[in-house]
Amino acid sequence: MNTPDLLLKLIKDNLRTTKLVDGLGALGLYSSEYYNQHHIEILQHYIGKELNEDQKDTYYILSEKMDAISIENNEAIENLANEVYTYIVGIPST
């Protein structure tokens, strides 16, 4: 698996997991802050650069779009993952 494919898979997995973690948060089980920070560190490793605070904030804002997407809507998740990828890497995924 090449790096762009791996990044897209990580982003898609993160979007799905974020939705689940947020659902647990609604039940009073808060762990999203720890999860999100760990995920950002992994992405930074694979893109080879550190995201600044504005980039991290925008990443989180883009990820919040998952609130309006069904966990089963693979096409919408794919589109959102591509949007996030384009933002953090700076080039559209292929």
Q: How many domains does the chain have?
A: 1
Residue 94 lies inside a defined structural domain of this protein:
no
Residue 20 lies inside a defined structural domain of this protein:
yes
**pLDDT of the residue at 33:** 65
Task: Answer whether residue 94 shows pLDDT above 60.
Answer: no
Confidence grade of residue 92 (pLDDT, cut at 50, 70, 90):
low
Residue 71 lies inside a defined structural domain of this protein:
yes
Enclosing domain of residue 14: 3-89
Residue 35 lies inside a defined structural domain of this protein:
yes
Q: Model pTM?
A: 0.79
Q: What distance in Å separates the CA atoms of residue 10 and residue 28, rounded to the nearest whole number?
A: 26
pLDDT digits (tens, 9 = 90+) for 36-86: 667 788 888 888 889 889 888 888 889 889 889 998 999 999 999 999 999
**pLDDT of the residue at 44:** 86
